[in-house]
Chains A and B, each alone.
Chain A
Amino acid sequence: MEEDESGVNHTRVGILFDRLRWEEKEISHEFRKRGIVAELIDSKNIVAEIGRPKSLSLPSLILQRCLSFHRGFNLAATLEAFGTRVVNSSSVLEICGNKLLTSQLLAKNGIPTPKTAVSFSLESALKAIESVGYPCVMKPIIGSWGRQVVPIRDRETAEALIEMRDQQAGDSTNSIFYVQELVDRPPRDIRCITAAGEIIASVYRYAPPMSWKTNVALGGRTEHCSLSRELEEIVIKTSQAISKDGILGIDIMESKSSGYVVHEVNGTVEFRGAQQATEKSIAGLIVQSILAKASDSGSEMKDGLEEEDAERRKDVLSAMQQTSTP
């Protein structure tokens, strides 16, 4: 935390990245529109000395936007140990980055999810698959952009995939078999983006032709989704269960047999695709949410204006929060 000579707290804002994408530039732009110069911090250049917070000179409020899960999670934990507030926090990133932890937390909070089983060895993998039943989907517990997500429609395929896993060199999470029912649904899912528990965008994501994966990164398209009261409640409940302050991308499927099911929560949400189907600026709403939380916590934003007294800064911040987004 930074204090000037009069003891007034000034909080700088940073956007932590490893690959600077459209999303990070938009967020930076939205801060700038509100008179705040957010520092774009390349995580690849950071060297931190454990136990020495002063080894880094970084803002006390940081928006974590690293594309790499491990880098983002570990950096968030490092910065938090130095007293930095990171959004999303390392504990939120850890949950969202691990499908098993996410499933457990959703189930614990009574949020509907697809039928899921997990086993922890090759020997028991087939039992996990057959407890869910065919057709099902095997997913890596830590993975993204639909990679290594494989549908399994019969025992023969199951045995072949288990054998392939056995042959794969790589990380030790290969011995974790996370299996989920293949949900019978329309060729789309629903992506809702929440900020501090409020829904700021909701879109349908349609799979590209000849594919069942709806990731926009894989060529899916988006369309605005109007939320029913039931779906709104599920999304808000999910948001509250994972993180009261965080920025989340919540993915829901419309199961023909069991209704809405939440299948994933993303802790570093990509929203270029969702923006195409959303009128208001998603980046602007994210920035508004962060500023509102910063105000609630009592810290002030260093906003690029000339040095002024604490009262005028509070007035400026209040006015920024009331600015409507395009």
Chain B
Amino acid sequence: MASANATKCPECGGVLKIQEDVVVGEIVSCSDCGSDFEVASLENGSVSLKVAEAVKEDWGE
């Protein structure tokens, strides 16, 4: 858990910036390693992340 503004990337340890208005289910990406994470929960201003689902071959329009 970390503040709603920045957290440590679970993959590479870099700084992962998070928008103030982030919502549960939104994707945040690490600018250092490019990993995608999904916002799992928001509690008392803290953000909990989980690894985002990988892009699959039937994704997109």
Contacts and interface: CB of A to CB of B under 8 A. Distances in A.
Contact of B56 (A68, A269, A270): A68
Contact of B58 (A40, A69, A270): A69
Q: How large is the interface on A (under 10, 10 to 19, 20 to 34, 35 or more residues)?
A: 20 to 34
Interface residues of B, number: 14
Nearest to A42: B25
A249 B27 contact: no
B20 to A, nearest CB: 13
Interface in A30-58: 40, 42, 44
Contact of A20 (B25, B56, B57, B60): B25
Contacts of A267: 61
B42 interface: no
Contacts of A268: 61
Given A19-B53, A44-B53, A145 B59 contact: yes
Interface in B30-61: 38, 52-53, 56-61
Nearest to A216: B61
Contacts of B56: 68
Contacts of A44: 53
Contact of B26 (A20, A143, A269): A20
Contacts of B25: 17, 19-20, 40, 42
A70 interface: yes
A267 B58 CA distance: 13
Interface of B: 23-27, 38, 52-53, 56-61
Interface of A: 17-21, 25, 40, 42, 44, 67-70, 142-145, 147, 217, 249, 266-270
